Amino acid sequence: MKWMRWWWPALVWAALVTSFSTDSFSAEHTSRLILPLLRWLFPHAAPETLDFAHLVIRKAAHVSEYFIFSLLVLRAFRAGRGGWRWTWAYSTMLVVGCFALLDEFHQLFVPGRGASVLDSLLDTCAGAAALLVFWIIERRRIESGRTGQHGA
């Protein structure tokens, strides 16, 4: 069960993401909280503008969920090892992409929800963006370590 040390955060996050796929987090239900808040913040905004802002907030939630999920899955594949391996990135993208599709498939069976291939694509792109950000940070860390050694 040593692997569980690395995988439990990703598994817990996956469960959280799955809970967001219930009817409680449908657009109808989130609008009851988000739209009044938006009306309070922007009292002169047109209803169409507020509806669009609600949609953007919901899509931003998708991006945030899967950005974090991707980093947690990458952490699990790394299992405490440093550096960057493309196999970790490919494996992470496979898990994130499959989970995004599975999450949307699950929503087919949830009253008040529906599946969207575009949401799966957005989720997968968010996972890829997380890997890109991590890769850039890791490269800069390695490069700054090299230049720090030469300057000493």
21: phi then psi, degrees, rounded to nearest 5:
-90, 5
Other C-beta atoms within 10 Å of 138: how many? 13
Q: What is the per-residue pLDDT for 26?
A: 61
**Which amino acid appears at position 131 of this protein?**
L
Q: What is the pTM assigned to this prediction?
A: 0.84
Q: Note whether 92 and 127 are within 8 A (CB).
A: yes
- Count of domains forming the chain: 1
Question: 96 by DSSP, 3-state: which?
Answer: helix
Q: Which range marks the domain in which residue 109 is found?
A: 4-151
Model confidence over 21-36: pLDDT tens digits? 776 666 666 777 888 8
Model confidence over 133-143: pLDDT tens digits? 999 999 998 88
How far apart, in whole angstroms, are the C-alpha atoms of residue 67 and residue 59?
A: 12
